Every structure is written in C-alpha cells, then in structure tokens.
Amino acid sequence: MADSRGKSSISSTPCVKFLAESLKREKNRLYGRKQTRALSDIKQASVDLLLSKLQPDRDKTKAASRITIEELFGQPVRPVWYEIGFGSGEHLIGLMKQHPDIYMIGAEPFINGMANFLHQFEKDKLPESHVRVWMDDAILLAERLPDSCLDRMYVLNPDPWPKRRHHKRRIINQENLDTFARILKPGGILVMATDVSDLAEWMVTEASLHPQFRWTAQAADDWRTIPHDWIPTRYETKGIGKGRTQSYLFFERILPLSLKNR
C-alpha cells in the first residue's frame, strides 16, 4: 500500500509490488492518429491565425537542450502552469478565465483538439501574451524547460492504456515524474485526474513511490470529491453522467530528505 490515510481502495499491494520492480520504462511516445476529421473552415482559420503566434518554433525547440520561460513567452513571466494533453481545451480556457494573472502552457498533439482550443480562445478574446501552446509530445517540451520554472502542472484524463503490455505508454511513470519534479518549484502541485480506477491506482502508486512528490490527501473524500474551484471538461461531465467516478489527485513537489538535511 503506497499510503494509508483513507486511501486503501486506490492503492493496492500487487500494484505497488509490480511498479517497484518496473521503475525503468521506455520514454512516453505519441500513439494514435494526429487528426480524426477535417477541420471546418472557421476552425482552420483560427489555426492559421493563432498557432504560429502561440507556439514556439518546433524545430528550434527540439534542437535546444533547454529553453527559458523568457524565450517561450518573449518576456520574463510568473507564475506559470502547464497542462499536458488538454483535449479540446475547455479546462485550459477555464483556467485562463479563472486565473487571469497566471501564464499558461498547454500541450495537445492532436490537431482537432488544438483547433477547438484556438477557436474558443479567439472567440473569448483571451490575451495572447498569457498562453503558449505546443502541438507535439508534451514530454519533449517538458524536458527542455528550465529547473523549477512551474508552479503547477495538470495531467487530466490521460489515455489509460488498459492492456498490461501497453502500461509502459502511460504518461505517469518514474522517468516522466523525474522531469516533472525538476521543472516544478518546491511546493508546486502536480494535479492528476481520471475516471479509470486502475489508472488512478497506477498514478497514485507511481507518484507515491517518487521521493520528490507527496500526496496531499488526508482522507478518501479528498480525492473522491470534486474540488470547489474545479473546471470540468466535456469528457468528465459525460463520464459522470454515465456513472463513472472521477478521482482528483494532488501531489506536492517536495525536497527529498537527503537534500533537506544539507
């Protein structure tokens, strides 16, 4: 059991044992189609207008070992939050409206989701200076961000990859958590959510095994109850309507004891 504070139903001994023996996994890759249907003219127009403005040059970014937040936004900014795999962008749009003083980075590899976000972003007339997008592998960008540059990260309803042979494709794994711990500031928060119980257990176990993350939940209601300021996505709302239970997982980025004692 990864933790015992009212959480036994989400952390199980077999999962912990399996994960502890399998900490080294191949790097997360992108799978699936990049586009599922043709874009409407109006959404294509939003992509043509905004993508090049809001996305850093992908070739230059991939060639760099590190890029600074100043390079990304064109000026020094803070605080910065990063949402990985934002789908159609409802949550990212909601965050920008709810927290107008926060600077956002959003990664979504699929053109349909990116187009939906950019179209809504344009309709809502949100400030271009406060967001940067990345239509590619979110981990690739994360690996190039500087140390301790983020205050918060979101990984919401990622692909569960239910077959065991595909578990190595799950985005929450020790290697990616190493990257998240490096780019999150101490005290920063990693927010994860899923309506797949097996994936919730996996994410809790993986993050609990990592020495630089601490689960903030004190009781089961902390992860079963929707947070008061939560912004639900269409996917989440649809799943709840079908009776699926969403888990809300908050992990704090901490310093390992070995570093605290120095």
Closest CA to 110 of 86, 91, 93: 86
- Name the amino acid, one letter, at 68: T
Catalytic site includes residue 159: yes
Q: Which of 3, 136, 137, 159 is catalytic?
A: 159
- Look up the CATH superfamily of 13-20+38-260: Vaccinia Virus protein VP39 (3.40.50.150)
Summarised one tens digit per residue, pLDDT across range 134-172 is: 999 999 999 999 999 999 999 999 999 999 999 999 999
Give, as one character, the DSSP assignment of residue 182: H
Q: What value does the CA radius of gyration of the chain take, rounded to a whole number of Å?
A: 18
- Write down the domain spans for the chain: 13-20+38-260
Summarised one tens digit per residue, pLDDT across range 58-114 is: 999 999 999 999 999 999 999 999 999 999 999 999 999 999 999 999 999 999 999
Helix, strand, coil % (nearest 5) of the chain?
Answer: 40, 15, 40
Q: How far apart are CA 155 and CA 143, in angstroms?
A: 16
